[in-house]
Structure 1
Amino acid sequence: MSLCKEQALDVDCGKLPPMPYGSAELLNGTTHLGSVIQYSCTANFRLVGPVRRTCTEDHQWSDSSPRCEEVRCPEPVVAENSIVSVTGNDRMHGRTLIRTSVSSKSGSTYRIGALVKYRCERGYKVIGESLSTCEDNGQWSGVTPKCQYVDCGNPGELQNGKVTLATNATYYGAAALYECDVNWKLDGVSRRLCQDDGTWSSEAPVCRELTCPEPSIQIKDSVGLIVVTSTLSIGGEAHYRCERGYSLRGNQTRPCLAKGQWGGGPPVCIPIDCKSPKPIENGRVIIANSSTLFGSSIEYHCLPQFQRVGPFLRKCMDDGAWSGAEPSCELASNEAADSGTLPLSVGVGCGIVLFLLMLLGVVYMRLRKATPVKNTENIEGAERKEDQNAAVMSYSTLHDTNGRHIYDHVTDNVYDSPYSEHLADNAAYGRRSDTDSAYEPEPVGPNAVVTINGVAVR
């Protein structure tokens, strides 16, 4: 063995104590002169000092002993008007550390993996990344964000309305008030706030024209009601009318009020009723179809020997009254003249009848005292003689004062022509009943002769 080797073996620097959070490796496996030791640290630790040391002749390792130091991030930078919260640090598990720009720095460090969240004071918003992580190089990731003053800007115009800034500003917390013009209604919120994210709260409202709804007809009794509207805007009007045969009861016109409602209540249509007509003297009033509503008709009929003065037919009009004037039944002119001499005629007739009865009594008494006939031939002759003297009345022998047969001027179609209103206006006779189609015969004229048992009474 050479001298140099012997001297090297005589020099031994010895083994080093273990290094916390790290390790030391002998590169040539010995601690003799010239041996080299190399240091390294575990994860999340870094070596502070020399990486290698050599055994020297003075039996010492070169340089000083290194150490392993934990890698930690420094206190995060807190921008003006910002707030920083740190989570995941080993010294405050489950807790959040909050720092502001005015807080005193604590000099704390943070382990790798700790999380920093940036946010701004009210009225400001974050510009940049709001999250940062402590990396294994002991630095926070990304760039420190800034806090910028929040300005929501002009909230915009409101058509058919106006927008008022309560504080004449658009920064955070400012309020915008919305209001519509007259006859317009706000659809949406009336107040919006500038939020911390730089936007106005809620959606912008709009102004819609205030109108009245379509006037509906839903009332059960409003059959025949018609409504017409020119506009549904405020100040417009709804005009009501009824179909023919109905009368309007209620408001004919309803205005559209400022609240978007129709003024007053809706009208109704009532069927027009002319009511039952008054009865007439010496006659009858017949209501056709038993109805007095619009369009119905009534007929006037006079008793025999009375003549109608006025219309035969009247109709129910749309004004609720019967058409024309009310007729009357007056005694016929010939009947009126005869009524003055009736007592005298009756007296004369009674006297004639009494005279004839007395005359017949005398004849009868004389015949009873006559000599009886003794043979049958005289009896038969007497019977034939009596038959020849007897008074005989036959309808075929009746004549009027002009010498004409009373049935010579009777037409066959006297009942064939229907009773029309035109003919009835001048008629002096009436129908006997509602169901009887025959009419009473016209009373006899002033020159006609009436006979009773062959004796003329007038």
Structure 2
Amino acid sequence: MLSLSVTCVSPEVENGRTNGIQPAYRPRDIVVFECDPGYTLSGSPETQCQDDGRWDPPVPVCERMLQCPSPPAIANGKPSVQVSAVFTSGMSVNYSCEPGYALTGQASIYCTASGTWSPPPPQCEGVLCIVPEIQHGRKVAGRGPVYRPRDTVTFECDPGYTLNGSHQIQCRDEGTWDPPVPACTEGKQVLCIAPEIQHGRKVAGRGSVYRPRDTVRFECDPGYTLNGSRQIQCRDEGTWDPPVPVCIQVLQCPSPPAIANGKPSGWDLAVFTTGMSVNYSCEPGYSLTGQASIYCMASGMWSPPPPRCEEVLCITPEIQHGRKVAGRGPVYRPRDTVRFECDPGYTLNGSRQIQCRDDRTWDLPVPTCIQGKCESRLTAGVRDNLSILSQWAVVSKFVKGLGPLIDGAVCGY
């Protein structure tokens, strides 16, 4: 049986905290500890109050951890520094270089138990490509002397030699050339016939002469689709690989149907091909009936039928034992308002004034007239003003509490 008279003194830990603060604890109570940032727990993270008033295991201590300074800065690069300003043992940071520079050394360094970073931070050295040279040929563009990433070089061969490879190469971020440096081989140069397509055009590779490795890209005119590869390359034997594509006319749909009091999106486009869609929207005061989107089908027809824009009208509001005193129109459109009053001997339950909303509902709901003690003109006047501000529900109790002043007022209309 636990002794209710035995208690344990509230444990305290410097540079740390517990999960609760009590002046005393009973046997079997447990306390959990944690240390402040920059400190590490030495001992058990939790302890329990014993029958003899001791804490077991003993209360731990928070020992200060050795911290590392901010990671070293490096030229043309930076470390991935975390939000925390404290760097403790075991934490790491990664370095990255600016464009045009390559990392030399280990990308990650670690905060050691001695409070220093290890290994030394890396360096960011400028990326350079080896100067490209070819025999029996020359550079006609990009003559160095230093080549950095994104630099390009264009070659041509001496008469009687053929270029084996790409005429233009580019220095990559890792210091290599892409494509590789070409070579000039002895023999008659092979050329590809200039590729042409109907109902389309070349968007890249418009040269009049095409040598092996030259590429051409195509696109088709509106209303046509490309049958074949968008990009082709001149082969060593003077043929195009893949073959030159063709532009095939695609079945089109007519302009989207017009609708009264609305319009489709994209109606000004010149061509509507299979799979395209348009969305309809209505003018203010009209509501969409049907599916908002229609699609151009493979048959050249639009499906489903276009929607309709119908005028937004609210149902005519009527109340028993009362009448409309404003807004007696036969048709009610958005923003139209109606005001009511009840017959003598009846009290209005709800708002005196309501408004037609865009979704065909009334805001607030249509009131009712209930039989009972008539309301005074003073009460009605106060409620009219408050109804306009949508605050009648908040102050209704105050108005009802006016007591004899309201009871003595004159009823009727």
TM-score above 0.5, yes or no: no
Q: Higher helix share goes to which structure?
A: 1
The TM-score with structure 1 as length reference comes to 0.27
The TM-score with structure 2 as length reference comes to 0.30
Q: Higher strand share goes to which structure?
A: 2
